[in-house]
Amino acid sequence: MRDLCVLIVGGGSGLGALLARMAVEDGASKLAIIDLDGAAAETALSPARTKDVPTVSARCDIQSGSQCHAAFDAVVSKLGRVDTLINCAAIYPRRPILEITDAEWDASNGVNIKGTYHMMVAGVRHMQRQEPRGKIRGRIVNLTSVDAFKAHPQNAHYAATKAAVVSLTRSFAHHVAMDGILVNSVAPAGMATERARSLGFLEELAKASPLGRGAEPMEIAQWVLMAGGPKNTYMTGENIIVSGGYIYA
């Protein structure tokens, strides 16, 4: 990420906060976080600030297109440009397939699909106007999931939204290819996070993996940073599956 301005949506906690720290360690010159929890975003920026990296946070409900564009504009106003946009804001509801309510469908679609779409539109509109660095004007990386490709009746609504994000990634990649904007996604399997442990399904996922464990978050984050980093100058429209053999593509 050397010398790039990185914006992480959903960077206030979890994988997003780890990505923020790792991006700075990898040489990002500027860092921004957009999150529904403004206080968490500020906390996640602390490691960057200790290294005197210019930062900005913005509170945003990504289900609102106007809020997404306002938050993105606020980032650009302070930092000047966004080279890499990482979309990792999502909700992960679990409900048996025959019991999903309208409210749960609406929440999943609103955050996971519509929110990702709005942030991609905001990112593309900005990147189309900025000067390229070499052949590349910008990079967008979306977090998807192996659930997009695997039958999962305990969270079918989540799986459906992540399949939609894979499709959005491909459509955007095709649309902006000639603008020098690369759009890709990364699909992890279960990660060994505190949240996964608290929800009680990490052991189940570990048993399903040929490696016998869930991924450490850093093992997923490094692929996200690769897709969004300066070494990626040609890959676009791809979905990188990082599942420890949970599924084979």
pLDDT, tens digit, 9 for 90 and up, residues 10-30: 999 999 999 999 999 999 999
5-242 has which CATH code? 3.40.50.720
166's tokens:
């894979």
**Alpha-carbon span 248 to 230, nearest angstrom:** 27
What is the tens place of the pLDDT at every residue in 140-196?
Answer: 999 999 999 988 898 999 999 999 999 999 999 999 999 999 999 999 988 877 777
**Alpha-carbon span 240 to 181, nearest angstrom:** 17
Comparing 197 with 83, which gets the higher pLDDT? 83
Q: For residues 190 and 200, is the Cβ–Cβ distance under 8 A?
A: no
Tell me which amino acid residue 89 is: A
Residue 53 has pLDDT above 90, yes or no: yes
With CA atoms as reference, report the closest residue to 15 among 107, 87, 65, 95: 87
**Alpha-carbon span 139 to 124, nearest angstrom:** 9
pTM value? 0.96
Task: Clarify whether 158 is annotated catalytic.
Answer: yes
What is the tens place of the pLDDT at every residue in 113-144?
Answer: 999 999 999 999 999 999 999 999 999 999 99
- Selected catalytic residue, list 158, 234, 246, 248: 158
User: What Cα–Cα distance (Å) separates residue 17 from each residue in 7, 45, 102, 158, 212?
Assistant: 11, 8, 31, 22, 26
Mean pLDDT of 183-211: 82
Ramachandran angles phi, psi of 63, nearest 5°: -70, -15
132's tokens:
């390229």
**Alpha-carbon span 9 to 26, nearest angstrom:** 18
Maximum alpha-carbon separation in the chain:
51
What is the reported pLDDT for 249? 61
Residue 213 has pLDDT above 90, yes or no: no
Q: Where are the domains of the chain?
A: 5-242
Q: DSSP strand E in 112-191: where?
A: 138-143, 181-188
Q: For residues 54 and 30, is the Cβ–Cβ distance under 8 A?
A: yes
What is the reported pLDDT for 121? 98
**Alpha-carbon span 141 to 9, nearest angstrom:** 10
Tell me which amino acid residue 125 is: R
For residue 30, the surrounding DSSP H or E stretch is: strand 30-35
